[in-house]
Chains A and B, each alone.
Chain A
C-alpha cells in the first residue's frame, strides 16, 4: 500500500527554517519529489511539477502539504512562554516507517534498556498505570499522569528523579511530550518530534525543544537530544514488520503500550495509513 490517503491533507515538516537557501534542497514527501527553498526571504516549497505548495513557518521548521489542509498546523502554547530556549536539534534520517518513529517516541518502557543510565535504569523498569484518551474536541491523542524514574532526565538534571510526563499526538507524524523541568518546578519542558515521511519506510526526523535551562550551552542541549535519538535509531531500523500494524494480532501489546494502542486506533479511525499495514480480517 502506498496510497497517501487521508494523510495527504495534513502538514509535514520539510526542513529547518535557518538552513534554507535560495538554491534550496530536493527532498521527498510521501514519495513525491519536492523542493524547499527561500525566495525573497520567504520559505517556499514546490512539487515535482513546479506547483507551489502551501507553506507554514513555525517551531523553527518549514511545513507543507501535498493536499488541502482543512485546518491550521497545531500550536504549542507553552513554547511561546518567555524565557524558554528554542532548540533546533537537526535532521536525522531513519530507515523506518514514519509512524514507527512516532510510536517509539511515545514509548517509555524501553528507557532503561536503550537509554541506559540516562532516561532509565535497571531495576527501575516498571511503567506504572497512566491515563490515555483520544480527545475528540481537539482530535489528538493524550497520555497523562505518566511517571518514570530517570537517572539523568535532562541536561539540567542533577541525579536521579521521578519524572512526570504527558504525551500528545497532534498530527499523524508529530508528537509533543511535556516533562518535569528540573530547574523550574511547576513548569514543563517541551520536546517535540516532527517526522517528515519520505516514503512508507524512510523518514527524516526533526526533533525540536522549548526548554527552561539558563545554564547549558546550546550545543550541549543539541547533543543531549541527538544522543537520545540516535540511541533509538538502530532499534527503529530493525523493527519488524516495517509497516506499523494497525490491526491487533501482529503484535501483543502490554499495559505499558496504552499510548501506542490509542495512537494506532486514532490512525486507523482517520485512515492515516501511509507507513501502516492493515490485516484483512
Chain B
C-alpha cells in the first residue's frame, strides 16, 4: 500500500497511526506540501483532482479521504477496529467519522492558519473548533459514566483514530485543551495503545516507560 504523505499533516498521521496500530507496513511517498505545494502539481492532481493529501493507492484502488482509508485498512487487516458488528455500533462509528471532518475543517484549519500561514478567518475557525471540542468532551464524559473509554464502546475503533490527531494538535491552533478533562483522559488512553506512534506536536508517554530501578519501599507498601 502506497501512502502519499506529509509529516506535519494530521490527516496523514491518522493513516500512519492506524497502520502502526494494526501492524500494516505502508510505502510512504513524502509530498512537499509546504513550502513546495506539490499536492497541487500535475501528477498529484491526476491522482487526486481534489488536491488534498493523504492519498492511498492499493491494487488499483485510489482513496483520497482519510476516514475512508481508515475504513479500508481496518477492513483489510483488523476488522475489530471497525467497531462491534451491530447496527447501532456501526452507525456510531460512522457518526464519529463524519464528526472528524468537522475537526479537520475547524481545528485543523486553525492550526494551518497559525502555523503555516494558511488563509482563514481565525476567530470563526476557533469558534467552530471550540463547539466541536465541547461536543466531544460531553460525549466522552457520558461514555465514561457508562464505563466506556472510547468513542464507540469499550475498545478503540477507527472513530477514535479519526478524531484523535486534530484534537491532540488543537493547541497548535490556539485552542488549549485544559478545559476538557475527559478528552485528556481519552487522549492518554490512545497514546498508551500498543504500537502507538508520534507525530511532531504529539509526544509519546515518557512516563509510561518502566521505572529505572526497584520501586521504593514506601510505595510498595502502599500498593500492597
Contact = CB atoms under 8 A, between A and B. Distances in A.
Interface of A: 16, 18-19, 88-93, 95, 113-114, 116, 122, 204, 217-220, 222-223, 226-231, 233-234, 237
Contacts of A218: 32
A91 B7 contact: no
B115 interface: yes
Contacts of B115: 92-93, 230, 233
A95 B114 contact: yes
22 contacts: A18-B35, A19-B35, A88-B35, A89-B35, A90-B34, A91-B35, A91-B116, A92-B116, A95-B114, A113-B206, A114-B203, A122-B209, A219-B31, A219-B36, A219-B38, A220-B30, A226-B7, A226-B34, A226-B200, A231-B200, A233-B172, A234-B171
Contacts of A18: 35
A contacts with B: majority SS:
helix
Contacts of B7: 223, 226-227
Contact of B6 (A114, A223, A228, A237): A223
B23 interface: no
A231 B201 contact: yes
Nearest to A114: B203
With most chain A CB atoms within 10 A of its CB, the pick from B171, B200, B201 is: B200
Interface in B99-119: 114-117
B204 interface: yes
B204 A226 contact: no
Nearest to A217: B30
Contacts of A89: 35
B141 to A, nearest CB: 25
A234 B35 CA distance: 20
Contacts, number: 65
Contacts of B171: 234, 237
A110 to B, nearest CB: 12
A237 B174 CA distance: 10
A234 B8 CA distance: 13
Contacts of B116: 90-93
Contacts of B34: 90, 226
Interface of B: 6-8, 30-32, 34-36, 38, 114-117, 171-172, 174, 200-201, 203-204, 206, 209
Contact of A230 (B31, B35, B117, B201): B201
A226 B116 CA distance: 11
Given A90-B116, A204-B117, A227-B8, 9 more contacts: A91-B35, A219-B31, A220-B30, A223-B8, A227-B7, A230-B115, A233-B115, A233-B200, A234-B171
Contacts of A116: 203-204, 206
With most chain B CB atoms within 10 A of its CB, the pick from A91, A227, A230 is: A230
A91 B117 contact: yes
Nearest to B209: A122
Nearest to A116: B204
A158 to B, nearest CB: 18
A217 B36 CA distance: 13
A18 B201 CA distance: 28
A117 to B, nearest CB: 9
Contacts of B31: 219
A230 B8 contact: yes
B101 to A, nearest CB: 23
A204 B114 CA distance: 10
A121 to B, nearest CB: 11
Nearest to A94: B115
A234 B173 CA distance: 10
A219 B32 contact: yes
Contacts of B200: 226-231, 233
Contacts of A228: 200
B187 to A, nearest CB: 14
